[in-house]
Structure 1
């Protein structure tokens, strides 16, 4: 006997797919007469209704950064009545997932976190009319591909403005992978306040790493702190790299922030575990996951989406790791 889909029941009852999903999953925020209407319709269909199945792909280790996004996606999906199939870990990074997604039985849609594929692969998936949302895109997504990210340029600009106001003029920048869209946006944000003062970062004060982790932040900071006219502040691509930079400063007998200010990006737990605590830019990681589910739900309900590329606001968090430039 055929299992009635949520879309079948929504069409039969005149309710939204989200309401039908909530009714079938026994959630409290559904009126009792509405729940009965859905259950009766499911019985008339002669089968059990099925919820939408979302393929959630995160080809990275689920650390505090990616773990927060994945957890929020899973929680929001539950509220929408979606089931989630999770594919996570670095082993999935090189597999040809996108081209096969529309042909996978039982998969209705996908949420792709920082997909490593080129924009052409996203375009091909879109052309097959498969519903998906990109979270934190690595490359600039095609115009009509739905994506959600943080306002990286604005966050980086706010952080560099903070340092400039503290008197810093020679600021070392430790960037992430050169091919990442987010790296371009943050770099532009860092440069803007300096350019307004007629300054540009000197080439010897800029480093880029292939993987934004603590060890690479440590090695990049060592190089920056060993230049003849060392920087009075260092901004790192993320908080983990800022941890590595702090270690490099400590090995050289430099005090943070008295001798060198250090700042990160993300505001993950490690930023509050450091001494001094880290000045950073807070990304709305959980809200990015929730927004992705909301956008996907609207795609599945065939709503018109005017804002296809959604940027969520970041927030500068000033703590003890930044101070006035050393004279």
Structure 2
């Protein structure tokens, strides 16, 4: 054994655990059982009495991947990330735009020269790629995960469940029971959480979800318009519509206008996100405000701690939302 002490690979082999597990123990990270932690420490003692020296803080730019158009929702998050990174003296390398969805990026990040860490926004990549990147030891943070990720991957999101629950509860308090849900993509974590919050609020009001009142699709104005037309053309139409986001809700407003329905006298409509569009519609949209700027700032804070080799006590951060009541919702018509 050399005077430099055992390597991480030596320790992992001796303890019979993975290199990633040894790395977590050495960096004092969570999600390692006491028994495993003791096993690793025992291997270090038996191999020479001390483990590898803790590596210094990672330098280099931060790679920000947001494979979507940087308008409204995504633009606010990325702007906040950029401003906060600048405060920390970190350069930013931006990978954005819808074309970026077709580029394989995550498998190459750990080996890119000059890149110290990354922030990925609503990553379209499969979970296996995220896990592989984490196991490589490359520090990164996810903003608004599209699917469930392991607890030892740092992530920031809004409380989609609580936000949707408060919005539906607002409508049920106004007497609405037949509430159409213009849901987002069925494979999105946010969409599933919002649907669950909607169902919970309906149950509290003594109502079950009617599957015929749910239409899923992409979070666009066009989808909102077409889905609303479909639901509002039914023989027994809903008295309120909930859009997956404000764009979907604005499409629903256009559909209601085409059908000659008054909002909110004949139909209540609400959205989610509270982007600028929500105040620009007529009537202005009742919606749920997500703390988009704070999501970006906290993501940077988590990443900086990872880059500086600090332990993270909370790897999954869920931020509170606010119900914003405007003119597009009112008591159920008689």
The reply on whether 1:275 has 2:293 as its aligned counterpart is no
Number of the residue aligned with 2:327: 320
How far has the Cα of 1:275 moved from its partner? 1.1
Number of the residue aligned with 1:13: none
CA contact (8 A) 2:145 2:189 kept: yes
Q: Choose which of 193, 208, 213 in structure 2 pairs with 1:205.
A: 213
CA contact (8 A) 2:274 2:287 kept: yes
For 2:101 and 2:325, locate their aligned partners in 1 and report how far apart those are by CA, in whole Å: 35
Number of the residue aligned with 2:119: 111
CA contact (8 A) 1:154 1:189 kept: yes
Matches within 5 A, 1:124-273: 124-209=132-217, 211-273=218-280
SS of 1:248 mapped into structure 2? helix
CA contact (8 A) 1:204 1:227 kept: no
For 1:243 and 1:274, locate their aligned partners in 2 and report how far apart those are by CA, in whole Å: 7
CA contact (8 A) 1:51 1:81 kept: no
How far has the Cα of 1:196 moved from its partner? 2.0
Number of the residue aligned with 2:39: none
Q: What TM-score does the superposition give when structure 1 sets the normalisation length?
A: 0.84
For this pair of structures, how many residues does the alignment match?
277
| Gap regions ≥5 residues in structure 2 | 1-57
For 2:220 and 2:208, locate their aligned partners in 1 and report how far apart those are by CA, in whole Å: 26
Q: What TM-score does the superposition give when structure 2 sets the normalisation length?
A: 0.82
Q: Choose which of 80, 83, 107 in structure 2 pairs with 1:75.
A: 83
For 1:150 and 1:101, locate their aligned partners in 2 and report how far apart those are by CA, in whole Å: 26
For 1:296 and 1:159, locate their aligned partners in 2 and report how far apart those are by CA, in whole Å: 32
How far has the Cα of 1:264 moved from its partner? 0.0
Give deviations 1:69-116, integer Å, cap 9, x for gaps.
000000000001100000100111021100000011111100000000
Q: Choose which of 73, 87, 96 in structure 2 pairs with 1:88.
A: 96
CA contact (8 A) 2:180 2:240 kept: yes
CA contact (8 A) 1:53 1:108 kept: yes
How far has the Cα of 1:227 moved from its partner? 1.0
| Gap regions ≥5 residues in structure 1 | 1-49
Runs of 4+ in 1 over 3 A off after TM superposition: none
How far has the Cα of 1:118 moved from its partner? 1.4
How far has the Cα of 1:173 moved from its partner? 0.3
For 1:197 and 1:297, locate their aligned partners in 2 and report how far apart those are by CA, in whole Å: 44
SS of 1:103 mapped into structure 2? coil
SS of 2:207 mapped into structure 1? coil
How far has the Cα of 1:181 moved from its partner? 0.4
The reply on whether 1:54 has 2:62 as its aligned counterpart is yes
CA contact (8 A) 1:52 1:81 kept: no
Number of the residue aligned with 1:287: 294
Alpha-carbon RMSD across the aligned residues, in angstroms, is 1.0
Number of the residue aligned with 1:3: none
SS of 2:115 mapped into structure 1? coil
Number of the residue aligned with 2:14: none
CA contact (8 A) 1:122 1:142 kept: no
